[in-house]
Amino acid sequence: MQSRISRIGFTGFLTGVLLVGELTLSPPEAEARKSLAGRAGLTRAQRKARKKAIFVVKRGVRKLREGDYVAALELFSNAHKIYPSPKIQFNIGQTYKELGRYLDAMGAYEIFLRDAPASTSETLRKLARDNIRDLFRKIAVLRVQVTVRGAQISIDGRRRGVSPLVKPLRLMPGAHSMVIKKRGYVTVVVDLQLGAGKRVLRKVTLRKPAPKVMWRTIRKPIKGMGVLWTAVALVASAGLAAVITGSMALEEDEFVHDLDEPIAEREAAAARGKRYQAATDGLLVGIGVVAVSALIWYLLVIRPSGGLERIRVKPAAGAVVPYVAPGGGGLVIRF
């Protein structure tokens, strides 16, 4: 108990006692002071509220002496609700500081310095300023610079404003997660590790998401079929012609071997048979050449062509393109 009281010192117990007798009107109420009745410029209801607040503050000071900071904070907060005096904020700041809630303590001290009346002692003002300087060594200060205006900045799930931030952010030391997002841009998540008394600058670049790659499956046309069918027609025609010339060559050969026919006619038939045979041989050779050529054409041109193929589709002008990105998705309209 003795160690707790010694830690409070003038920044807790004695200051709390001092503030009990110095409760004053908050600035908005001070504006109406001239129109208020009563010895101290207060209405009867205000004097009653001030008296009650002093009683609650005294209880808070007792709890502060005993080291029961949670109860003291509750009592000081209640007193401020009963009678909103900026000087009670000093007591609240002291209690927050003892509880290790340094950010809340700084806020309470700053309200005290901002709203305290001119009659407030310079000793209290200096003590508040000294406490704020001391607390800056126990917290971290973060400055965030975002390349895009109007981006929402959240830290640990709590919204802290939109870019550009006017003031740096005050945070407790340790690990934090910062999320920066804006419609039409890829959401950025930054993991922070902040040390006590450190001032940190984080520059964040927001980029628009790349449109989703679109693919389409098409059936490739078969190439060279006209050439193949031409070759087939040529082979068929040449084969038919070879059959005819071959048959005629056989007929002439039979006539040549018919001994009943005159020799002159048989010699003429033999000559015609040789011509038919030569024509048949030429046709057969042509058929072979065309057939081999058609086979090579099929293997090199026709067979590799055709089938299914996936091709990348470039969005046309004025197209609506869906996209998926970390943290969300949407549509991109291209003009």
pLDDT of 9 above 80: no
Q: Tell which wins on pLDDT, 222 or 332.
A: 222
pLDDT of 32 above 50: no
Of the pLDDT bands very low, low, confident and very high (cuts 50, 70, 90), residue 215 is: confident
Mean pLDDT within 198-211: 89
Residue 17, SS3?
Answer: helix
pLDDT of 325 above 60: no
pLDDT score at 21: 41
pLDDT in tens, 151-170: 999 999 999 999 999 899 99
The DSSP line for 55-100 is HHHHHHHHHHHHT-HHHHHHHHHHHHHHS--HHHHHHHHHHHHHHT
pLDDT score at 258: 77
pLDDT of 39 above 50: no
Burial of 158 (0-12, 13-18, 19+ CB in 10 A): exposed
pLDDT score at 322: 58
Neighbouring C-beta atoms of residue 243, cutoff 10 Å: 12
d(CA 146, CA 160): 13
d(CA 95, CA 112): 14
d(CA 63, CA 78): 14
Contact 111, 131 (CB under 8 A): no
pLDDT score at 305: 80
d(CA 93, CA 108): 5
Prediction pTM value: 0.55
Residue 308 φ/ψ, nearest 5 degrees:
-100, 150
For all residues of the chain together, what is the average pLDDT?
81
Neighbouring C-beta atoms of residue 207, cutoff 10 Å: 11
Mean pLDDT within 133-146: 94
Of the pLDDT bands very low, low, confident and very high (cuts 50, 70, 90), residue 24 is: very low
Of the pLDDT bands very low, low, confident and very high (cuts 50, 70, 90), residue 33 is: very low
pLDDT of 253 above 90: no
pLDDT of 6 above 70: no
pLDDT in tens, 290-318: 999 989 988 888 888 877 777 777 655 55
How large a percentage of the chain has pLDDT more than 70? 81
pLDDT of 114 above 50: yes
pLDDT score at 265: 83
